[in-house]
Chain A
Amino acid sequence: MKKVVVIGSLGVIVYYLLSAFVAIPFGADIIKGVKEFYLQKSPDDLKVANVVTSIVVNFRGFDTLGEVTVLFLASTALGSILYHRRSQHSGLNPQRTSVEASAIVQTGAKIIFPFTVILGAYIFIHGHLTPGGGFQGGAIIATGFLLMLISYRKFFIKHNALTWIEAIAGSTFVILGLFGLIYAKNHDFLENFLPAGKLNDLLSGGIIGIIYIAVGFKVGAEITGILDTLLTVKETGLDPEEN
């Protein structure tokens, strides 16, 4: 019964939505909107080769601040959902599992880990030139940490360090935004106040590059924290008193 209802409803929904989307033919360039402006301003004014990036970090940089917040929020929320108090219990760090990874995976992980960090950094440093960006770069760095976490039962990440990175990187974003209020031409939040540079140069795009680096660090630290929390959960049985 439930199945019939669900399938029926899904059928209806897909029918209507698909018919709506088919009305926008694939590949058709039917609208003239803000995108024309972005395609023009991005290389000319901002000197950013990647228009997606200039949208993400400049035109719609406020969204990206929101996104950074979402990740920060998710990692904090995760912490509050799966908190554990290592230091207060038994004095030992909890072990993730009883099955150790094979020796060669461990050796391989050691080699690949720095490689992924360099790759991630490469991506967020070149965020304004290539399809990547702070999020992708940060995520790749975090997967490097994931590799270490799953390869070693006793690989522990210093949350202290993560905290510092997160805090500094996150506030860099906001403070850069606030600098815009003071130093930039229109005195707007998140407005660029640095020289734009030359198109396709590493040092181009003004604050975009710095923001992406900050975002990269923050995202890397946050996803790493999230993964660590998810993988290292050990119940302490203690519940904060309810109120």
Chain B
Amino acid sequence: MVITDPVYFIALPLLTAFLLPLFGKIYKPLIGIIPGLVFAFLAYISFDLYLNLVPGKPIIIQMAGWAPPWGINLVFSEFSGLIVTLITFLAFLVWVYSYNFKKVGFDNSKKYFTLLMLMVAGSIGVVLTGDIFNMFVFLEITAIYSYGLTAFYKGRDSAEAAFKYLLLGSLSSVFILLAILLLYKQVGTLNMADIAVKAQSIDPKMKSIIAILFFVGLGIEAEMFPMNGWVPDAYSQAPGPVAASFAGMLAKSGIYALIRVFYTVLEVKGVFDLLLIMGLLTIIFAEFSAMRQKHLRRMLAYSSIGQMGLIMVAFSFNTKAGIFAGLFLMFNHAIIKTLLFLSSGFLTYSTKQKKIRDLDGFGKIMPFTSLMFGLGAFAIVGLPPFSGFWGKLNMLVATADSNLYFVIALILLVAVVEIVYYFKVIGRLYFRQQHKDVEVHNPTWNAILAMSILAIVIIGVGIYPDLITDYLTKATNELFDKAGYIHSVLPNLSLN
């Protein structure tokens, strides 16, 4: 069966989420099985759609029978389709990983899977929608998902983390709404392509205020310094697979929104310089903070922020090379960080404090999980022959291409810092004596499967990056071609 309508990416998870409690009443294990089937199906159709995409001809879907700009539309293009495919793939893996969620009880696993379905629908919605307000709605869906699942476990400081996230998230939505309101009043439309056409006539001062509001609002979601205080807390307190989904899916949709707005919707001079500076500051503060962390998850969280900063820097070049590198980094970050969070979930399973110090000698008692973590660490710091290397190399080439030598130096300097803290962990895992007896929680077969698939992707892309570079190039061209986007969404519009 070939489904040509990307609306299923949103409709199906929503329908499943709504009906999941009923399935649970019919037969309890369905709570776990149905989401898996849905994710598998979504992953399948996303691959199918993406691979059959005709270049330059994105799939444009209108809602409720109204063509854009009257109605809301979805755009499944080389760029958005790539991210969607990535999200569905990771969603499926996260499901595989957490399928045996027995420990938390039936009621909670019901909530967990329901929330997971909604989050997938939300982050896909952010990526696919062609309407600025609709994007806001989907961003809120992902935000509330995060608040709920960050606070999922009691006993930890999870509520504290979630509250901080909520505080900043609420500010973010206020600013985004203000921006949308101002924008609407200027152009009288909410369709992104339509805005893109009409935005040229906006008074530059007004435009700059709108841009700033978007920048701050979306910057919070994209983990930009100095608005990322919530990130380390949320990542470290959420359940392992949830933290993985933050890094792999949520952060992706946040940065996607930021990119889409500034590349396609609002062309504002100077915003990319700002993005460069903020991206660099994000990297510096995050990586330096990561260096001094004693808790594994917090370290990973700060490292994630650093990666997001790097992605921002890549996109700030506003060149094809930069976009390509940014996409590569996004791909790597999604895959590798997911692996790191998934494996760290089992590494820190039995220690309450989740301190790095407690991991001494785990390489021996939890060989597979440690290996996966080690692999992830090697890959994320950009060592060949893993996929992280190609992202970093392309990133540096793009930076050099923009003549920003000091940025190269800075990125590499920070990479050294990254190496130091990741290798400290590896040193502890493999080359230290285990200092006390710990209860070993070896991963379940499904967790092993999920992690193995990620590892295979990391090594596969590392050895042969051209597995994905073609798609990244296509996505790059799509994002860079603003007129093409406008034309596909509003074919009847005469651009003069």
Please indicate the chain B residues that have their CB under 8 angstroms from the CB of A66 in the complex: 125, 134, 137-138, 140-141
Docked pose: A24 CA to B202 CA in angstroms? 12
Q: Does A166 contact B (CB under 8 A)?
A: yes
Produce 1/0 per residue, A17-54, CB < 8 A to B.
10011011000001111110110010000000000000
Q: Does A192 contact B (CB under 8 A)?
A: yes
- Segment at the interface with A among B12-20, B279-287, B426-434: B12-20
Please indicate the chain B residues that have their CB under 8 angstroms from the CB of A41 in the complex: 70
- Segment at the interface with A among B144-152, B245-253, B332-340, B367-375: B144-152
Q: Is the CB of B115 within 8 A of A76?
A: yes
Please indicate the chain A residues that have their CB under 8 angstroms from the CB of B63 in the complex: 61-62, 188-191
- Closest-CB distance, A173 to chain B (whole angstroms): 8
Q: Is the CB of A69 within 8 A of B141?
A: yes
Interface of B is mostly: helix
- Segment at the interface with B among A107-115, A140-148, A175-183: A175-183
- Closest-CB distance, B96 to chain A (whole angstroms): 14
Of B18, B19, B137, B153, the most chain A CB neighbours within 10 A belong to B18
Q: Does A201 contact B (CB under 8 A)?
A: no
Interface size class of B (residues with CB under 8 A): 35 or more
Interface of A is mostly: helix
Q: Is the CB of B178 within 8 A of A185?
A: no
Partner of B187, one of A31, A70, A80, A177: A31
Q: Is the CB of A242 within 8 A of B144?
A: no
Q: Is the CB of B118 within 8 A of A24?
A: no
Q: Is the CB of A240 within 8 A of B138?
A: no
Q: Does B436 contact A (CB under 8 A)?
A: no
Q: Does B318 contact A (CB under 8 A)?
A: no
Docked pose: A63 CA to B136 CA in angstroms? 9
Q: Is the CB of A189 within 8 A of B121?
A: no
Please indicate the chain A residues that have their CB under 8 angstroms from the CB of B105 in the complex: 85, 240
Q: Is the CB of B209 within 8 A of A188?
A: no
- Closest-CB distance, A23 to chain B (whole angstroms): 6
- Closest-CB distance, B303 to chain A (whole angstroms): 21
Docked pose: A166 CA to B107 CA in angstroms? 16
Q: A66-B137, A80-B108, A239-B155 are in contact. Are A23 and B14 (CB under 8 A)?
A: no
Partner of B148, one of A58, A81, A164: A81
Q: Is the CB of A37 within 8 A of B70?
A: yes
Q: Is the CB of B206 within 8 A of A80?
A: no
Query: Which partner residue on chain A sits nearest B66 by CB separation?
Result: A59
Q: Is the CB of B118 within 8 A of A185?
A: no
Q: Is the CB of A69 within 8 A of B108?
A: no
Q: Is the CB of B147 within 8 A of A77?
A: yes
Please indicate the chain B residues that have their CB under 8 angstroms from the CB of A186 in the complex: 62, 65
- Chain B residues numbered 146-166 whose CB sits less than 8 Å from any CB in chain A: 147-149, 151-156, 159, 162
Docked pose: A64 CA to B149 CA in angstroms? 23
Produce 1/0 per residue, B322-357, CB < 8 A to A.
000000000000000000000001100100000000
Please indicate the chain B residues that have their CB under 8 angstroms from the CB of A241 in the complex: 103-104
Q: Does B22 contact A (CB under 8 A)?
A: yes
Report which B residues bind A (CB closer than 8 A): 5, 7, 11, 14-15, 17-22, 25, 61-66, 69-72, 103-105, 107-108, 111-112, 114-115, 118, 121-122, 125, 129, 131, 133-134, 137-138, 140-141, 144-145, 147-149, 151-156, 159, 162, 178, 182, 184-191, 203, 205-206, 209, 239-241, 345-346, 349
15 inter-chain pairs at a CB distance below 8 angstroms, sorted by A residue, are: A32-B188, A34-B188, A34-B191, A62-B64, A62-B129, A66-B134, A73-B141, A74-B148, A83-B107, A85-B105, A186-B62, A189-B64, A240-B105, A240-B108, A242-B239
